[in-house]
Copies of this chain bind each other. A is one copy, B any other.
Amino acid sequence: MPQKTNASPSAANDEPAWKQRAVERSTKTARLRAEQRVERFLDAAQAIITEKGTTDFTVQEVVDRSRQSLRSFYQHFDGKHELLLALFEDALRRSADQIRAATEAHGTPLERLKVAVQLLFELCRPDPAAQRPLFTDFAPQLLLRHPNEVRVAHAPLLTLFAELMTDAADAGELRSGVKPRRAAALTMQTVMFTAQSAAAPDDESAHPITADEIWEFCARGFSGN
């Protein structure tokens, strides 16, 4: 920070290009190292999560596993919440990709939507087996303290669903008066949250809600006109 309050405020941005390039060159290597370290933390955390099936790990565990240090961790993350957020975003982004790929296989817009809903449902339920992203169980915590970041994290999925929904609308497959983006948001929320509270199919009670049911519900509602 050698240069502060030296030039006029408006000149703050007119650094000569060569200088910017020089700085970048000097910076690049550092950035690469940093990215690599962040990646190691992320991988370690992800491994621990899928291993223990919960997000109740300690920062120390992540540090140990990634063979780095606490100091380093806090130098790269603002805190545990940022790590979670990163994992969360990542998981949602990958899920969005996966779902998008699954819907690619033609069918009417509505059918593609159905595929998306059902896959999202499966992806969001609590570890039916093991390796599932499990990104759903810390979502609530984040929702409380960082609703804004969560919105950002949801963006890829929301975009995908909005696209599918819009396609359906264009094909005239939506009930008139339905706003695609709104419907997409509501559907996503419903699917994700319901999946979470849908316990593993071991309970006897009436609960075990299925992907089909949820699709039926979102698509047609319950009212009979």
Write the nearest CB–CB distance from A136 to chain B, whole angstroms: 10
The answer to whether A165 has its CB under 8 Å from any CB of chain B is yes
The answer to whether A22 has its CB under 8 Å from any CB of chain B is no
A174-210 contact mask (Cβ, 8 Å, vs B): 1 or 0: 1110100111011101100110110100000111010
Given A222-B174, A222-B175, are A214 and B186 neighbors across the interface (CB < 8 Å)? Answer: yes
A223 is contacted by which of B173, B186, B190, B209 (Cβ under 8 Å)?
A: B173
The answer to whether A107 has its CB under 8 Å from any CB of chain B is no
A-B contact pairs, 25 of them (CB 8 A): A110-B223, A137-B144, A140-B143, A143-B197, A151-B205, A173-B224, A173-B225, A178-B224, A182-B213, A183-B217, A183-B222, A185-B207, A185-B209, A186-B194, A186-B214, A187-B222, A189-B194, A190-B190, A193-B193, A217-B218, A217-B221, A218-B222, A219-B221, A219-B223, A220-B221
